[in-house]
Homo-oligomer: A and B are copies of this chain.
Amino acid sequence: MKKNQDKAGVKEIARRAKVSIATVDRVIHNRSGVSAKTKEKINAIIREMNYQPNVLAQRLALASRGLIRLAVLLPVISEETEFWQAPLDGVNKAEGEIRQYGIHIERFFFDQNDQQSFARQVKRIEQYKPEGLMFSPTFADDSIQLIRFCEQEEIPYVLINSDIPGFDRQCYIGPELFHSGYLAAQLIHYCIADDQKVLLVNIAQEIDSNHAILRKEEGFRQYYKDYIPKGAILPFNTTQTDYASVAQKLEKLMRQETGIGAIFVTNSRVSLVASWLEKQGMKDILLIGYDFLKDNVDWLKKGMIDFLICEKPQEQGYRGVMTLFQNLVYSATIEKEYLMPIDIITKENYLFYRN
């Protein structure tokens, strides 16, 4: 039986400093109630030994402290919002890993098409008074109210998927939306001739207040300014998100326009466009959209969608929870921003993609 490394724990520090381990613990955690002299002596020994606490033992001991209650607020998952399954999967995965450290996660859901439902959940969370909160700030006003509540109660909160500028959140975890749109334009630039037009498609119930869509569009247009100033961008907005409406509008537009080489859909609704294009037999138009959803991947396989841009939604949920955990349990310092990679998925690499 060899020892792990020749003696390097609180016990050894205590022995060398000729104090008890309780005192060592106080110094390690910078707690009050230790004379300056012993404190200095112990710190010197810690430095000398290059002491690293055993995280295992720390956590195990902490397990006796009782529950920490975390709250998570996300859009409810429906057929239309399948995207949100992934962040929720991430939350579940995180919960599996930290449950044994006494973390409980309470989930709150709202309807993305119903601002009232968001407001109701905000109320419920305020009553629940969690010790940490992660949410996706879909509706700005109510989100700000929730943020105010957190700041007043000193509850750390983490934003995922899209950010709200101007508040001191623990951390934002999600994509850099501007670059994401910028990248889409770059891909299109590679694939179509400069004299071909591009259709910029927004399909969402609320476009003007949808920060994510607007930012991506900005990035997209900026790329055009930077590299293809003469390129033509045709806008296409619809707040009716069902297939029939989208198809009808597309039909009308496409009758009037010629020379469209590519279509960029600013969110995961790209499958609607793919479906329409297939019915028209328009296989040659380059189609780019968002998110690794089953429908979208199917269109990718068929060659109707050319590129999907993805930002690891599962990891966003996972990392959001883990960040709160790190912060609450270990008082770890947290980066203010964790920007997700912007992944490019095609027919030939989707098989190996991991959310």
Task: Report if A93 contacts B (CB, 8 A).
Answer: no
Contacts of A56 in B (CB 8 A): 56, 59-60, 63, 100-101
Q: Do A4 and B342 touch (CB < 8 A)?
A: no
Q: How many residues on A have C-beta within 8 angstroms of the other chain's C-beta atoms?
A: 45
Contacts of A348 in B (CB 8 A): 179, 182-183, 186, 223, 342
Contacts of A207 in B (CB 8 A): none
Task: Report if A255 contacts B (CB, 8 A).
Answer: no
Q: Do A344 and B344 touch (CB < 8 A)?
A: yes
- Report Cα–Cα, A3/B55, bound state, in Å: 21
Task: Report if A306 contacts B (CB, 8 A).
Answer: yes
* Oligomer: number of copies: 2
Q: With both chains docked as a complex, state the minimum distance between the C-beta of A37 and any C-beta of chain B, in angstroms.
A: 31
Contacts of A64 in B (CB 8 A): 1
Task: Report if A218 contacts B (CB, 8 A).
Answer: no
Q: Do A179 and B351 touch (CB < 8 A)?
A: yes
Task: Report if A66 contacts B (CB, 8 A).
Answer: yes
Task: Report if A29 contacts B (CB, 8 A).
Answer: no
- Which one of B63, B176, B223 lies within 8 Å of A352 (CB-CB)? B176
Task: Report if A25 contacts B (CB, 8 A).
Answer: no
Task: Report if A231 contacts B (CB, 8 A).
Answer: no
Digitize A159-197: 1 where CB-to-B-CB distance is under 8 Å, 0 elsewhere: 000000000000000011001001100110011000000
Q: With both chains docked as a complex, state the minimum distance between the C-beta of A62 and any C-beta of chain B, in angstroms.
A: 9
Q: List 16 A-B contacts (CB under 8 A).
A: A2-B66, A3-B66, A4-B100, A54-B100, A56-B100, A179-B348, A179-B349, A179-B351, A182-B348, A183-B349, A190-B191, A190-B286, A339-B352, A341-B353, A342-B349, A343-B349
What 7 A-B pairs are tightest by C-beta distance, nearest first? A183-B348, A344-B344, A342-B349, A186-B348, A56-B60, A341-B352, A2-B66
Could you tell me which A residues sit within 8 Å of B by CB distance? 1-4, 52, 54-57, 59-60, 63-67, 100-102, 175-176, 179, 182-183, 186-187, 190-191, 223, 286, 306, 339-344, 346-349, 351-354
